[in-house]
């Protein structure tokens, strides 16, 4: 049986959040998970939206901290 990695767990949470991002014309891409820090690239409307930092911290980061053990922060990469 395949072991579920932290990347798989993060991707699963992102997949749950994706419909909300898509509804506003945006999306996100998992770049990497390193030492508990999730690196995300915001795409589409999310990449240029003035509220993207709030989306990242209050939405995506909060969900990942709650659902994936070991995650300590979410960082946006460009």
| Confidence band of 48 (pLDDT split at 50, 70, 90) | confident
- pLDDT > 90? residue 53: no
Please give the span between the terminal C-alpha atoms of the chain, in angstroms, as a whole number: 35
- pLDDT > 90? residue 54: no
The residues spanned by each domain of the chain are 26-78
* Whole-number Å distance between alpha carbons of 55 and 12: 18
Q: Which pLDDT belongs to residue 25?
A: 93
CATH topology of domain 26-78: GMP Synthetase; Chain A, domain 3 (3.30.300)
* Whole-number Å distance between alpha carbons of 40 and 33: 9
46 vs 15, 34, 66, 68, 69, CA distance in Å? 16, 23, 22, 23, 26
| Mean pLDDT, rounded, for 26-46 | 95
Show the CA angle centred on residue 24, arms to residues 55 and 77, nearest 5°.
45
Work out the mean pLDDT of the chain and round it to a whole number: 93
- pLDDT > 80? residue 2: no
């Amino acid at each position: 049986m395949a072991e579920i990695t932290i990347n798989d767990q993060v991707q699963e949470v992102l997949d749950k959040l994706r419909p909300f991002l898509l509804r506003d014309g945006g999306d996100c891409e998992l770049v990497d998970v390193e030492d508990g820090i999730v690196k995300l690239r915001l795409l589409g409307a999310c990449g240029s939206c003035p509220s993207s930092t709030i989306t990242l911290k209050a939405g995506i980061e909060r969900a990942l901290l709650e659902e994936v053990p070991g995650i300590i922060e979410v960082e946006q990469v460009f």
